[in-house]
Structure 1
């Protein structure tokens, strides 16, 4: 597939919304963002998926996704755990570990970003946002099977399987959170398959300014939020599954329409969005740890409180130090390889 600039711009908008959602974000804005920001990333992953490329080489597909997603996940969590442990051991004013090291290691292996349901010895990982990496890895493996099924049995049966799979994931999450977010991966099939089909049939025309029925997507998003309330894929809070999918797709189409419109121009905002999109994996991995670690090291409590309690300043803090991390890692060959930069 030829390079489509709007894809990186959409990723950039998405990762910026992740940053805003993790800053001092008012509840109403967080509700809007959480309704579609993770579905957007699953959708884009499905859109850029090419079954034909790995059809005859499954092992190459698994290896590729393992190095791009699983390796950065474990590296990031072990690195942050090491830094926190060293700070806890070497300083007189340690940054207290929220979870003992042993439980943190178990949590990293289990790979859930949310406190487990039901509660058990399995704690969540150290770097919570990285739950998405393991979940996306599982989603890719599952989607490979879905794409193969689609090639053999066609669109209608495939959608039936996808919706049944999503419902199974939804039902499972009511009782237990599966390792590596497998239950979330089941639900993500609705977004990935829709994107895959839209790309397969050329439903997203890159020459158009915006996606047709743009106003309709706003209306559907508004209705889904109004009826379904706050959702969170990581916490398995979907409320009504149908409304969750509708809201996720509606918000995604709005962001894609915006990204496509922005791709027609060359300006600072467009270039920054594209840059953030290309570096979204590193930003996802470190956007909470680096800024907060540095902020907590500032000796002036009033400065910390001022930044932490401001949407603008907390977002700016995370954004600036996330970009700093990207620039730093690009200069270190080992870090560059680990994060596929």
Structure 2
């Protein structure tokens, strides 16, 4: 694995752990601090991994993202309903099927029983919009492109104040500058250089980040809370750069790197299963065994562990790999397997 993509996997691992910690109940002061760059960093990494060839074939992009994002989204939504329904036999409220279907269709956090799933539909919208805008202006100057992405971001903030659009389309517009920055960082091969200039300006970037965070109010992209939009982008950009640089410096710590890269590669399963499934299982078992509610770090640690077990188990079954882990199917191989199965049955 190249240093570039190893660093990105570490970034993904740290970011998803910060998300899980926030949902597990980490002290609000810490969680509010992480909010300033947690989701922006996810979008920036998405832009970094976005390949230029996708601008030539939108059907391939939509098809790929359908399998990697929407199929796991629907699967997790269905699983969540049946899981909550099974908990009703333990005295919990029975979920309403119509409300659950409505939530999956709209794809916004305020309607979903499994709130973190909002990010999958939003990420789908974000990449489609990014394709459309880059396809339209890729031959223009970088300066003009920055003007366009910030204009899209401003429009997204404005729309979010009026109406939370389905599939997080308004948030997807707000996220465009982060995708664009990630894309340009890859284009400039920043992670393949020594970052000497960055190292010299590290203190300045860190101070800018702290100032923007302290001047701005609470950030919550899911609920369309951005505070001052200029400070929001400054905090998101500088915080993301600092985390990426921090992850690059960790490369020499191999055991930590192996753990974080593994977590990064399993971020989809952790995102979809940690809050409504893993956390609930931990809380129920802890109450049965100890008769009390667990501390946030217990929920966090055991919640991540359960998600990893889910990933390991599902990884052994090709069909579960497709619907849960977003692995695009090899249709020829699947049809061959089905034909062989039918022949064995007959």
**TM-score when normalising by structure 1:** 0.89
SS at match of 1:263: helix
Structure 1 residue 166: Cα displacement: 0.4
Determine if the alignment matches structure 1 residue 135 to structure 2 residue 122. yes
Which residue of structure 2 aligns with residue 257 of structure 1? 245
Structure 1 residue 87: Cα displacement: 3.5
Number of residue pairs the alignment of both structures matches: 324
Deviations 1:255-277 (A, max 9, x none): 1011111123312x211100000
- From 163, 166, 173, the equivalent of 2:150 is 163
CA distance in 2, matches of 1:218, 1:201: 22
Which residue of structure 1 aligns with residue 331 of structure 2? none
Highest CA radius of gyration, 1 or 2?
A: 2
CA distance in 2, matches of 1:150, 1:107: 35
Determine if the alignment matches structure 1 residue 270 to structure 2 residue 257. yes
Structure 1 residue 223: Cα displacement: 1.1
- From 292, 312, 317, the equivalent of 1:332 is 317
Structure 1 residue 327: Cα displacement: 1.4
What is the root-mean-square deviation in Å for CA atoms of aligned residues?
Answer: 2.0
Determine if the alignment matches structure 1 residue 34 to structure 2 residue 22. no
CA distance in 1, matches of 2:286, 2:32: 33
Q: Contact conserved, 2:286 with 2:292, CA < 8 A, in 1?
A: no
Determine if the alignment matches structure 1 residue 285 to structure 2 residue 282. no
CA distance in 1, matches of 2:128, 2:104: 20
Which residue of structure 1 aligns with residue 138 of structure 2? 151
CA distance in 1, matches of 2:153, 2:67: 26
CA distance in 1, matches of 2:262, 2:17: 11
Change (3 A) 1:185 1:316: same
Deviations 1:45-69 (A, max 9, x none): 0011112x22332211110011111
Between structures 1 and 2, the one with greater helix share: 2
Structure 1 residue 208: Cα displacement: 4.2
Q: Contact conserved, 2:274 with 2:303, CA < 8 A, in 1?
A: yes
Q: Structure 1: where are the runs of 5+ without partners?
A: 115-123
Deviations 1:127-159 (A, max 9, x none): 110111100100000101222234222212111
Which residue of structure 2 aligns with residue 56 of structure 1? 56
SS at match of 1:337: helix
CA distance in 2, matches of 1:209, 1:335: 45
Q: Contact conserved, 1:220 with 1:250, CA < 8 A, in 2?
A: yes
SS at match of 2:139: helix
CA distance in 2, matches of 1:209, 1:321: 41
Which residue of structure 2 aligns with residue 121 of structure 1? none
Q: Contact conserved, 2:80 with 2:277, CA < 8 A, in 1?
A: no
Q: Runs of 4 or more off by more than 6 Å in structure 1? A: none
Deviations 1:220-246 (A, max 9, x none): 221122111221100111011111111
Deviations 1:9-47 (A, max 9, x none): 000000010111111211110111111111111000001
Change (3 A) 1:13 1:304: farther
CA distance in 1, matches of 2:128, 2:242: 28
Change (3 A) 1:333 1:155: same
Structure 1 residue 83: Cα displacement: 2.1
SS at match of 1:177: coil
Q: Structure 2: where are the runs of 5+ without partners?
A: 328-346
CA distance in 2, matches of 1:155, 1:295: 49
Q: Contact conserved, 1:210 with 1:257, CA < 8 A, in 2?
A: no
